[in-house]
């Protein structure tokens, strides 16, 4: 029998998605973004699948995430791009991890620790990490000096887009070009210039430069209002469980905390063992739908820490029946995008937050 709370991860679908995007963006390289436990899908199996599917690079946020990949024996190039201000970069040096750095003092600290390869983070308008235009000169001249001294090599220059509109993103590309031009004047000629994530990579060839960073698209989730299928992608995560209790109740029965749902008539309630401890947002209370015995039912009443209920009317349902929270709409299952809509968030958050007591099963 399937686990009580299952996150089924379809590695073949992930590989297919990576190949699809890879063909689309070629000759640009692909960096598979596997941060945050591969958006909730499991960092090591997804990273392996990415490499099998031809991803050239792997990208993570923290040094710890990069070290997890190395500890698992993954030897592909890995870049991490967010660090503790007091970061000791020795572990990056010893494990051949590239570091994406934002300011001059970080470059010096990395060089002192013996880091071989850095990617210069350029803030082209998002206002997050990366050196802002006022800081470029110091940042780029420090990088150029350290490179001339043979203390490190600038392997990449990168930035990240706001996805506000294509016009805004294009303005960021102009800024990126300006930073690259200044870097070139200082003798910095990176092997990989990268700025585009899934959405822009798919739609705008001019944003691909040498490499694109593929996050959400690899997981088969659309970055925008288009469906996964429209983008030729297959959802990788399927979340399902089993009914743990069934009861017949009279009309006007209060359901779950606060009685936010009252049965409109005599009906059957099915108890599903997923709660916010497992990553189900409390905000899908009375909103998201699940698939049970071939029918869609809406969650009835408050999502609790460990469970929620569905009102199945007079339909037959038994303890042990499978309930699919979300998966592939091509199979009639709700999509992560539908759950995001119900929760008032984005599908990125829906897949990434799933976990808790769920068992990840790889196919």
Ligand X SMILES: Cc1ncc(COP(=O)(O)O)c(C=O)c1O
Binding site residues, ligand X, CB under 6 A: 33, 160, 197-198, 213-217, 223
**Do the bridges between strand 211-214 and strand 237-242 make them parallel or antiparallel, or are there none, so unpaired?**
unpaired
**Beta strands in 102-210, from DSSP E residues, in sequence order:** 117-121, 153-158, 192-194
Q: Which amino acids are annotated catalytic?
A: 35, 257
Which C-beta is closer to ligand X: that of 146 or that of 214? 214
Which C-beta is closer to ligand X: that of 214 or that of 336? 214
Residues in a beta bridge with 7: 239, 360
Which C-beta is closer to ligand X: that of 87 or that of 197? 197
Using an 8 Å Cβ cutoff, are 338 and 291 in contact? Answer: no
CB of 236 to ligand X, least distance (A): 13
Using an 8 Å Cβ cutoff, are 99 and 79 in contact? Answer: yes
Which C-beta is closer to ligand X: that of 122 or that of 312? 122
Using an 8 Å Cβ cutoff, are 284 and 339 in contact? Answer: yes
CB of 310 to ligand X, least distance (A): 31
CB of 58 to ligand X, least distance (A): 12
Residues 6+ apart with CB under 8 A from 226: none
**Do the bridges between strand 237-242 and strand 5-9 make them parallel or antiparallel, or are there none, so unpaired?**
antiparallel
- Nearest CA to 65 out of 33, 101, 36, 99 is that of 36
CA 126 and chain centroid, separation:
18
Which C-beta is closer to ligand X: that of 82 or that of 116? 82
CB of 122 to ligand X, least distance (A): 12
Instruction: Point out the residue whose Cβ comes nearest to ligand X.
Output: 215
Which C-beta is closer to ligand X: that of 197 or that of 309? 197
CB of 169 to ligand X, least distance (A): 12
Buried b (16+ CB within 10 A) or exposed e, 131-152: beeeebeebbebbbbbbeeebb
Distance spanning both ends of the chain, measured CA to CA:
16
CB of 9 to ligand X, least distance (A): 17
**d(C-alpha 234, C-alpha 329), whole Å:** 9
Q: What is the DSSP letter of 229?
A: G
């Amino acid at each position: 029998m399937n686990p009580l709370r299952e996150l089924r991860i379809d590695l073949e679908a992930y590989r297919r998605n990576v190949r699809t995007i890879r063909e689309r963006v070629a000759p640009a390289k692909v960096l598979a973004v596997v941060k945050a436990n591969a958006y909730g899908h499991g960092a090591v199996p997804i990273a392996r699948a990415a490499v099998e599917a031809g991803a050239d690079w792997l990208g993570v946020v923290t040094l710890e995430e990069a070290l997890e990949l190395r500890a698992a024996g993954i030897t592909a190039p890995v870049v991490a791009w967010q660090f503790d201000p007091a970061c000791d970069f020795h572990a990056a040096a010893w494990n051949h991890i590239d570091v994406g750095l934002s300011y001059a003092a970080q470059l010096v600290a990395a060089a002192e620790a013996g880091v071989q390869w850095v990617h210069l983070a350029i803030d082209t308008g998002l206002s997050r990490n990366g050196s802002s235009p006022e800081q470029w000169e110091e940042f780029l001249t420090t990088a150029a000096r350290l490179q001339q001294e043979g203390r490190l090599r600038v392997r990449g220059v990168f930035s990240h887009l706001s996805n506000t509109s294509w016009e805004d993103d294009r303005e960021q590309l102009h800024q990126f070009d300006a930073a690259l031009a200044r870097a070139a004047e200082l003798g910095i000629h990176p092997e990989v210039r990268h700025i585009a994530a899934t959405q822009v990579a798919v739609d705008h060839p001019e944003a691909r430069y040498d490499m694109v960073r593929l996050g959400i698209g690899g997981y088969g989730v659309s970055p925008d209002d288009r469906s996964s299928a429209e983008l030729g992608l297959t959802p990788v995560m399927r979340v399902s469980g089993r009914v743990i209790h069934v009861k017949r109740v009279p009309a006007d029965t209060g359901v779950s905390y606060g009685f936010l749902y009252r049965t409109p008539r005599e009906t059957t309630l099915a108890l599903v063992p997923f709660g916010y401890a497992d990553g189900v947002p409390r905000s899908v209370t009375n909103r998201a739908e699940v698939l049970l015995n071939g029918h869609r039912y809406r969650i009835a009443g408050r999502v609790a820490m460990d469970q929620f209920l569905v009102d199945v009317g007079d339909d037959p349902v038994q303890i042990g029946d499978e309930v699919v929270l979300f998966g592939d709409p091509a199979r009639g299952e709700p999509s992560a995008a539908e759950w995001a809509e119900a929760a008032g968030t984005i599908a990125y958050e829906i897949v990434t937050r799933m976990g808790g007591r769920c068992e990840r099963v790889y196919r």
